[in-house]
A and B are shown apart, each in its own frame.
Chain A
């Protein structure tokens, strides 16, 4: 079963706007990671946030983590057409087992 649930399932915005995507999960985690996938291609790692971190930035990306609500958000600022892709959150649970549990993904379309 999938632990991560992203919201919304699909998002369509205009170039230059900000895109906010949310992810909720069910169990305690060691870290949460966001990945991007362009149509049927490989997954590109975007950012990792650890359970003891609340916010992290990387370029135009901002990720927040609220462990009390078991949720995370990914903000892409000043979006570009090239940001069009599917975005997945993935959680790694506490413990030696490092498998990632993925959500179903969010399809982001950025209109030029």
Chain B
């Protein structure tokens, strides 16, 4: 158990809908990352937050947004969902969010868009 929690574990929804994925980082970690894992794209970095502020952006679609709250939990919002958004979404956390940090991953949320 990495100490990173994600809810829900599974999510099934329809095209065009909007969902929110939630992540709680390990105790003491200030930085949160979101990754998407799909069969065709593999593991892709989406976005990073550090202490409530966006720090880095990767291959995140405009339909997706995220935020980190004062209690350091983070939410990833996916809207206007398409079939291709079906994937495993992972949250990771690290202490200070620099390139020397180890990132610890949560169990993931499996999103299925029908």
The main secondary structure of chain A at its interface with chain B is strand
List of B residues within 8 angstroms of A90 by Cβ: 43
From the candidates B48, B90, B110, name the one contacting A99 in the complex (CB within 8 A): B48
Q: How many residues of B contact A (CB 8 A)?
A: 29
List of A residues within 8 angstroms of B99 by Cβ: 30-31, 92-98
B80 interface contact, C-beta 8 A? no
Whether the Cβ atoms of A45 and B110 lie closer than 8 Å is: no
A40 to B2, CA, bound (A): 16
Stretch at the interface among A7-15, A61-69, A72-80, A100-108: A100-108
Whether the Cβ atoms of B43 and A45 lie closer than 8 Å is: no
A25 to B99, CA, bound (A): 16
Whether the Cβ atoms of B45 and A101 lie closer than 8 Å is: yes
A60 interface contact, C-beta 8 A? no
Known A97-B99, A98-B97, A98-B99; further 13 A-B contacts with Cβ < 8 A: A35-B105, A41-B108, A42-B2, A43-B105, A44-B105, A45-B103, A96-B55, A97-B55, A98-B31, A98-B100, A100-B33, A100-B92, A102-B44
What are 28 A-B pairs with beta-carbon distances under 8 A?
A30-B100, A31-B100, A33-B102, A33-B103, A41-B107, A42-B2, A42-B90, A42-B106, A43-B90, A44-B105, A88-B43, A95-B99, A96-B98, A97-B55, A97-B56, A97-B99, A98-B48, A98-B94, A98-B99, A98-B101, A99-B48, A99-B58, A100-B45, A102-B35, A102-B42, A102-B44, A104-B42, A105-B43
